[in-house]
Structure 1
Amino acid sequence: MTAVESASAELTYESTRATAQVDGLTFNYHEAGTGEPLLLLHGSGPGVSAWSNFRHNLPVFAQRFRTIMPDLPGFGASDLPELAEVYPIAAARLIARFMDELGIESVSIIGNSMGGAVAAELSALYPERVRRIAIMGSGGLSVGIFQAEPSEGFKRLFEFLEEPSRERMIGWIKTMVFDQTLITDELVDERMTNATADGVLARTGAIFASMFNPANQQKYVPLWTRASTFTTPTLMLWGRDDRMLPYDQAHFANRWLPEVELHTFARCGHWVQVERKAEFERVAIEFLTRDAAEGEA
């Protein structure tokens, strides 16, 4: 057994789990490791949580960082606030206060999909609190150029939310990965159980409704329109075969962000952290620790 496999066996859901109170809301999160703080922010698919999204990556990052994986507001076991603005902005404000509760002044962030959008909004709101971000198949700073809207992945997601079924869950998961052998009965069962738990569909619906609410949209200035003013060093990680947020969305941000790198994974869909686990971890850690490594040199 390798050191990482041994650590993975020790880092269970319950052994890493904790809660924090933020503005009267309960935040569920998982924490392991010591060192510079690193937030892992998950995406928004049916049945998602921090643990389901990143549990297999946690042992690797915990070897280098104080790694914290919160359930974003309204997902997993975290409460959902009233949403008077688009979800990524509301969640970013709450994550900043969550950092306060944990005594974290500044942080690096890895964000997957919706988590990447939240990471980008947090960086824009509080640039002094975010050292670097690595965002994976993320919205926020990215925007569709060539692909039709909504994407195939979003169509399958909204079909599931409208009328949940095992068949529709499988249809959505198929758009998440290039390697279809990753779609196991165990994965589908876990996601179905989580997605259809009491209150989950209503919360997920409210989250997406906040982003399509005309009143919220009217007062929201999309982050991608301010990309040239974004100051946080950013690594974009993208599966070339992403059918949720297609790869072409990376190129606007790659052109306009002042400090940006783009790493593309062939034969990979939306779940980079799953399909290209080792490569994702290696590239992300190199980017996040680069300043320290240069200082040692």
Structure 2
Amino acid sequence: MTTDPTPEPTPPVAEPAPPTAEPTSTSADGSIVDWGERSERWAGVRSETIDLAGTAVHTLWADGPEDGTPQLLIHGLGGSATNWIEVMPGLAERGPVAAPDLPGFGTTELPHPRASRIPANVAFLHAFLRKLGWSRAVVHGNSMGGMLAVLLADRAPERVERLVLASPALPTARAKMYKIHPATLLRFVPFLVPGVGSLAVRAMQAQLSPEREWEQTAKFLHGDPERVPPELQAIGLENLAAGRDDAWRREGLVGAAESLVSAMLRSRELVQAVEEIHVPTMVVWGDADRLVGRAVIDALEQRRPDWQLTSLPAVGHVPMAEAPSEYLDAVRRFLDAG
């Protein structure tokens, strides 16, 4: 795994305004049509609903050159398509960009109880690419989305031109599992036993207000939460608060978390998929990531020394949100390398 020169970190945002959940310009179904109305940085990004086998899939879309290579963006556990919104206009300089809300997240409802689990999501993404008519795409995946991107490339290699894995949820060597951050273990241990994770989520929501839960989540996910623009923080709070209103959202989160933990413990399929990928692949990782630690990156370097690594100093688990300029620079170098 080769290493890019490490870019300078973006200076912290000075005294960001606290996130709010004020309503914005919306369509009749409640989705924002033009995200540029909310922030000029997001001009050109719009919401679309794509019917996929009877499921209304909320998708963020950015147009790009018709002769460019499309890019598919896959969010992580507990996230949504908006995790990618800071980098979508930049990525769209090279071709059309689509970021769907996975089933059970954002505003894409669960079509069936198991739809948010890992195998179902891989099938969903394959069907999504076919629905868009994209024969080849650059696939980006963050966290759980990185795992899904790897499995998608293994299942449908003809559809994936390149992979960009942002802090991917992939296994480390069992002998190194003691290096997992204690806070990460505390978050995921309840999902080892079916039903316990759901109880833990309910208890946490009863104990903490949405604002307090968001504050704790942001501190855990980001190397420096103040680097995340206040508009994006506001969206995070809105998504989190909405997740308390509908039973299907909790069901989607718990199902995905249980499935992710199971896939990590039964890691043979993931390891095999990593070893068999034949497309150019880059890993973008923040060295302040508490979820995907150095041990995971070391394991990937050992298994795939040909993969390119871009390490971002003092950045956490969602680099495209916390350090979008550095993320875009890394992707441009990777794509320009041919």
Query: Taking CA–CA contacts closer than 8 Å with sequence separation of 6 or more, which of the two structures ends up with the larger relative contact order?
Result: 2
Aligned to 1:118: 148
- Determine the C-alpha separation between the residues in 2 that align with 1:217 and 1:176: 19
Q: Give the number of equivalent residue pairs.
A: 279
- Determine the C-alpha separation between the residues in 2 that align with 1:225 and 1:84: 24
Q: CA deviation at 1:172?
A: 2.0
- Determine the C-alpha separation between the residues in 2 that align with 1:140 and 1:22: 28
Aligned to 2:331: 284
- 1:163 and 2:204 are equivalent in the alignment: yes
Whether contact under 8 Å (2:77, 2:256) holds in the other structure is: no
Q: Could you tell me which of 120, 130, 151 is aligned with 1:90?
A: 120
Whether contact under 8 Å (1:142, 1:224) holds in the other structure is: no
- 1:252 and 2:266 are equivalent in the alignment: no
| SS at structure 1 position matched to 2:301 | helix
**CA RMSD for the aligned pairs?**
3.1
Q: CA deviation at 1:133?
A: 0.4
Q: Could you tell me which of 217, 230, 249 is aligned with 1:172?
A: 217
- Determine the C-alpha separation between the residues in 2 that align with 1:76 and 1:7: 22
Aligned to 1:138: 168
Whether contact under 8 Å (2:227, 2:323) holds in the other structure is: no
5+ long unaligned stretches in structure 1 = 292-297
Q: Could you tell me which of 300, 313, 319 is aligned with 1:272?
A: 319
Q: Could you tell me which of 272, 279, 302 is aligned with 1:232?
A: 279
| SS at structure 1 position matched to 2:97 | strand
Whether contact under 8 Å (1:41, 1:69) holds in the other structure is: yes
- 1:40 and 2:70 are equivalent in the alignment: no
5+ long unaligned stretches in structure 2 = 1-35, 189-196
- Determine the C-alpha separation between the residues in 1 that align with 2:117 and 2:293: 21
| SS at structure 2 position matched to 1:167 | helix
- Determine the C-alpha separation between the residues in 1 that align with 2:274 and 2:102: 24
Q: Mark the CA change 1:138 to 1:150 in structure 2 (over 3 Å): closer, same or farther.
A: same
The within-5 A match list for 1:146-157 is 146-149=177-180, 151-153=182-184, 155-156=186-187
Aligned to 2:259: 210
**Superposition TM-score, scaled by structure 1 size:** 0.81
- 1:59 and 2:104 are equivalent in the alignment: no
Whether contact under 8 Å (2:285, 2:319) holds in the other structure is: yes
| SS at structure 2 position matched to 1:31 | strand
Aligned to 1:31: 61
Deviation digits for residues 139-177 of structure 1 (CA, Å, limit 9, x no counterpart): 136667354457524635876664122333322210111
Whether contact under 8 Å (1:178, 1:267) holds in the other structure is: yes
Q: CA deviation at 1:285?
A: 2.0
Q: Could you tell me which of 250, 262, 280 is aligned with 1:201?
A: 250
Deviates more, 1:106-115 or 1:190-199: 190-199
Deviates more, 1:198-207 or 1:28-37: 198-207
Aligned to 1:294: none
- Determine the C-alpha separation between the residues in 2 that align with 1:156 and 1:57: 28
Whether contact under 8 Å (1:232, 1:259) holds in the other structure is: no
**Superposition TM-score, scaled by structure 2 size:** 0.72
AA in 2 matched with 1:39: L
- Determine the C-alpha separation between the residues in 2 that align with 1:143 and 1:21: 40
Aligned to 1:295: none
- Determine the C-alpha separation between the residues in 1 that align with 2:291 and 2:96: 30
Whether contact under 8 Å (2:141, 2:166) holds in the other structure is: yes
- Determine the C-alpha separation between the residues in 1 that align with 2:333 and 2:315: 20
- 1:73 and 2:98 are equivalent in the alignment: no
